[in-house]
Copies of this chain bind each other. A is one copy, B any other.
């Protein structure tokens, strides 16, 4: 049941007048940022990622997302209000903010944010996400949205976006 979608190959007959790299591999880097409002907040960043992919001019390849903060995460799920509530509850329950953590204890740590839970939530959910670019847009299933999770807001946050391919 393997279905062929597309094979992308660089132009086989490059002419001298046409830059040889016109169909070659490129890397397109951006940083996007925003300010979050809540301690635990989920943001739908699908449209912003698609906008960057479109601007990159890359048709086929990879878009790589990397949050530059340990107390945040990037992942995929359906964007539905009821489910967003469940996601937040699940994360709060998976890593209990009120447990004892050395990172929050002045005896062991000089961190004054008392955000050990946010670090562990970011670690378990992951701060990077790699998605396919096909036909000049991010490949996503019908119900898949790209979600940025703030675990220690409100704060200013940066996400590095890299599109690479042809």
Contact = CB atoms under 8 A, between A and B. Distances in A.
Interface of A: 1-14, 19-21, 23-34, 48, 51-52, 60-62, 64, 66-70, 75-78, 80-83, 85-87, 90, 94-95, 101-103, 105, 108-109, 111, 116, 119-120, 122-132, 134, 139-144, 158, 160, 162, 164-166
The DSSP consensus for interface residues of chain A is: mixed
B3 A32 contact: yes
A44 to B, nearest CB: 13
B21 A127 contact: no
A111 to B, nearest CB: 7
B131 A128 contact: yes
Q: Could you say how many copies of this chain the assembly holds? A: 3
Contacts of A61: 27, 164
A101 B122 contact: no
A130 B120 CA distance: 19
Given A8-B27, A94-B94, A134-B160, 13 more contacts: A2-B32, A3-B33, A4-B30, A27-B61, A62-B164, A70-B76, A75-B123, A76-B122, A80-B109, A82-B103, A82-B109, A83-B102, A90-B95
Interface centre among A95, A131, A141 (most CB of B within 10 A): A141
25 contacts: A3-B30, A3-B31, A4-B30, A7-B27, A8-B27, A10-B26, A11-B21, A13-B19, A20-B20, A25-B165, A60-B164, A62-B64, A68-B139, A68-B141, A70-B76, A70-B143, A77-B122, A82-B105, A83-B109, A86-B102, A87-B119, A87-B120, A130-B130, A132-B162, A164-B165
